Amino acid sequence: MAQKRQSSSGEPGFLVHNRGDSVGVAVADLASQTKANGRLLSGEETPKVTLHDAVPLGHKLALREIARGERVIKYGQVIGEATSDIHAGNHVHVHNIRGLRWVKKESK
């Protein structure tokens, strides 16, 4: 099992692809109840978030509050819709987001 790390060492624990994204992507396994430093790929900004959940490598974490029904943004694009309220620092995955193709099918 991979060791979870805290990213307060100065190395980014997550990346944000585009300014305005509502989620970042973990570049290491991140432990719950830690402060994580991020890096915006297109600038010098270094967002920070306190993690409320463990976030595995490659998974998404919420950078801000995302309300149920709100569109989730990654890469500057809508990637899905929140199925429950998501708090900043929460793990964002299939348990609290769904792709819009499912939303469209259900609304027909």
> Rounded to 5 degrees, what angle do the CA atoms 52, 69, 34 make?
10
Domain 14-106 falls in which CATH fold?
2.30.130
Residue 102 has phi, psi (to 5 degrees) of -75, -35
CA 7/CA 51 separation, integer angstroms: 11
DSSP letter for each residue of 30-49: B-TT-EEEEEETTSS---EE
Both tokens assigned to 7 = 């990213």
**What is the average pLDDT score of the chain?**
88
pTM of the model: 0.85
Question: Three-class SS of residue 15?
Answer: strand
β-strands 60-62, 23-26: how paired?
antiparallel
Q: In this predicted model, what pLDDT tens digit does every residue of 87-102 receive, in sequence order?
A: 999 999 999 999 987 6
82 close to 70: Cβ distance less than 8 angstroms: yes
| Spans of all domains in the chain | 14-106
pLDDT band at 56 (very low <50, low <70, confident <90, very high): very high
CA pair distance 42, 52, nearest whole angstrom: 26
SS3 assignment, position 71: strand
